[in-house]
Amino acid sequence: MTTAALTQVDDGIDRADAPAWSAVYAMTLCTFVLVASEFMPVSLLSPIATDLDLTDGQAGRAIAISGLSAMIASLSIGRLIARTDRRLVLLGLTALLIVSGALVSSAPGYAMLMVGRAVLGVAIGGFWSMSAAIVTRLVPARSVPKALAILNGGNAVATVVGAPLGSFLGGIIGWRGAFFCVVPIAIAATIWQAFALPALPARRREGGSGMRSLLQRKAVLVGLAGVGLLFLGQFALYTYLRPFLEQVTHVGLGMLSGLLLVIGVSGFIGTTLIGNLIGRSLHILLAMIAAAMAGVAVGLAVFGGSLAVVAILLALWGLLGTAAPVGWWTWVTRAAPDHAEAGGGLMVAVVQFAIMAGATIGGVAYDLAGPRTEFLGSAAILAFAAFAALGCSTDRAPFARSQGET
């Protein structure tokens, strides 16, 4: 196990004397498994619905239930693990990915599917709520943006290979086999973290008061509203992308996998590029991303029957949608560096509630009004997200300069 020393600096955050990059990369592998597991139903929605005799909207709620349990976990984990070494907590949460993959892949019916997805949600909520805070302890302050970009790189890689590979494997070994493929990767992530993570003792001041303090800051409230609307609009659309492509664009399995790969590759590019674009006026960049995603959603609704146009729009969607979380996680480290775990918990709770609501409301709208109308509704939500992002500037946030804001 790595034993990097931690030092208390003037912003109140325990930081490593030297960057523990192996630990960061181990956590990145975990983010890959988390994201691949969370959104694998997107690429397998139709076969899941067929096998379990569900509508597309009902199958989409497999994403909603993981969002609900993730939201609950992110709000409660701080109290439950108040004095527990964060290294042990991360290992336990990663182990839950193994349990979830095994339950889902062997689910005999809808109930067990939802239980497995709920277990996944606990891992998602717990891991993401602590991830930014732990990264700030693993590397020096000047390296935090780079470490966060690497961490979110696991998200990007998962979008590159997760959805298209899930669709491809689903056609060969079935959706159950595709879900089981995440189990050995989760085992590898658990072992790597066990060796790479240093001891991360809980800090004495962390607790429920952190969330109360953050909720009294206007910029934090507006920012949480902005990120919530972004993910609500994003997943009202993205959850039902496969049935949209099958029913509106009329693509087969091979072209479907290709289009999902386009989203993933462009998402990886977006995650790589956004680090160079993040500056002092981060809120303006976040607003521009949300506005551009709204435009893409409108384009899909209007030109959904044209394969060429859809391919271009999906490339833009991947570029923007995968880059957005990097921007928002950077925002939360600037807005709440003095309460990093509490800020992460609030952020994850809002994001997971938005994913849950987007998958649920989007499913109802898709079943009742059809794909084009549902996608236009997503565009409207994303437009509101752009307006909210304009009001979440952290230029005057407490301790902002200690996070290396440029």
pLDDT at position 9 is 38
Least confident of 9-13, 114-118, 132-136, 276-280: 9-13
pTM for the predicted model, two decimal places: 0.72
Residue 208, token pair as written in the block: 């429920």
Domains present along the chain, CATH in parentheses: 19-403 (1.20.1250.20)
Residue with tokens 């701080």: 78
**Hey, which of 107-116, 287-296, 333-342, 361-370 has the most confident mean pLDDT?**
287-296
**Could you read off the pLDDT of 175-207 as tens digits, one per residue?**
888 888 889 999 999 999 999 999 888 765 544
The H or E element spanning position 16 is: strand 14-16
What is the pLDDT confidence band of residue 149, given thresholds at 50, 70 and 90? Answer: confident
pLDDT band at 136 (very low <50, low <70, confident <90, very high): confident
Backbone torsions φ then ψ of 304, nearest 5 degrees: -60, -20
pLDDT > 80? residue 119: yes
Average pLDDT over residues 35-62: 76
pLDDT of 13 > 50? The answer is: no
Q: How far separated are the first and last CA of the chain, in Å rounded?
A: 34
Close Cβ partners of 263 (under 8 Å, ≥ 6 residues apart): 159, 163, 314, 315, 317, 318, 321
What is the DSSP code string of 120-164? HHHHHHHHHHHHHHHHHHHS-GGGHHHHHHHHHHHHHHHHHHHHH
pLDDT of 400 strictly over 60? no
Q: At what angle do helices 307-335 and 110-138 cross, to 10 degrees?
A: 50
